[in-house]
Amino acid sequence: MTVAPWAEPKPTACLVLADGLVLMGDGAGATGTAVGELCFNTAMTGYQEILTDPSYAGQIVTFTFPHIGNVGANPDDVETVAAEAERAALGCVLRAPITTPQNWRATEDFGAWLAERGIVGITGVDTRAITARIRDGGMMNCAIAHNPDGVFDVPALLALAKGAPDMAGAEIATTVSGRKTVNWTAGTWQWGEGFEDPKGGNGPRIVALDYGIKGNILRLLASRGAQVTVLPADASVEEVLSVNPDGLFLSNGPGDPGATSLVVGDTLRALLARGLPTFGICLGHQLLGLAIGARTKKMRQGHHGANHPVLDLDTGTVSIVSMNHGFTVDGATLPANARETHRSLFDGTNCGLALTDRPAFSVQYHPEASPGPHDSHNLFDRFLAMVMEAKAAVAP
């Protein structure tokens, strides 16, 4: 059955959820159809960084903030690093029509940028209702179609949504990982100057395993003088050690950590056994947890936004952080040689761990932000201080 719900004005986009909800609206971005897991993000800014975060691979993002597009788009705010992760988020769902850019950094309209990246969008739908539906029923698959002719085969779209693979069990990280070794040099973005040059380049050697790494993570490491080498997600122990690293970084990324751990878990356990100082973020946190024997589980709605309060159990301080994850480490399953260091104040889920018998720690959230607050940038200083301490302990 082909459906064109009303003749004038015609809708040019259709969103169909796997539970049967059908919403008509106006198309934005690329034409065509995208199928993936539907989630919502509560951030008010940083939509370009969100859609280019490889952690969103396989997902369609509903923005709860109604006005999207006023900042426009520019090449500096792209978080994708590897060409393999060029299409991170598959689509976006918006309440209001995309607004005209009103920012001095904008180089193009957000809608045109969406089209260039192949991101299918729909506007003019009730994003509050969608958010409530996800909160009640959990994240579910959907199909989003943009057709300027306004003709949609709704039963076929529903079949696509229902037939899409579940994110649980999905191994996606290795598909968005870069396949080449990259020596990263760019530092953080500075007002009026752009991306800074590396500071000296004679700091500790850090190997970053790319499970879908964000650019700002690498910038924050490089801006602190680290010599950063990015390796593919499935790099072997020998490939990692050939760089003669002083520290190991485990990146963010998409998909089910349990599935990715089947590919990379043995390597991580072997590297941890060598006592290599290690820091993990997001998927890297989950993979570290799995490598030491903890378990992960899928969340109902996940955490996606830039306003999440996290409690530091060591200091009692609360940080507002950026988050993007649909799985979590089960804090109750941490082994005896690990302790919980951070906890979400929204739902009490685990947000950090540290090993007690070797120099390794990780956090579930995104201390590099982009977008989000900078409350937790100090974690990069903590990691590099840990690396330097370990390096000094073995120096002749």
- Positions annotated as catalytic residues are 282, 366, 368
Strands 338-344 and 350-355, by their bridges, are: antiparallel
From the list 90, 256, 267, the residue with the least C-alpha distance to 173 is 256
| DSSP-derived 3-state class of residue 209 | strand
Backbone angles phi, psi at 142, to 5 degrees: -150, 170
Q: Which residues contact 132 (CB under 8 A, 6 or more apart)?
A: none
| Distance between CA atoms of residues 384 and 367, nearest Å | 14
| Element holding 352 (H helix, E strand) | strand 350-355
Alpha helices in the chain (DSSP H): 47-51, 110-116, 127-137, 154-163, 173-176, 215-223, 237-241, 257-273, 283-291, 378-393
| Distance between CA atoms of residues 207 and 246, nearest Å | 8
Q: List, as one string, the DSSP characters of 179-195.
A: SS-EEE----EETTTEE
Instruction: Please give the angle made by the CA atoms of 109, 115 and 118, to the nearest 5 degrees.
Output: 145
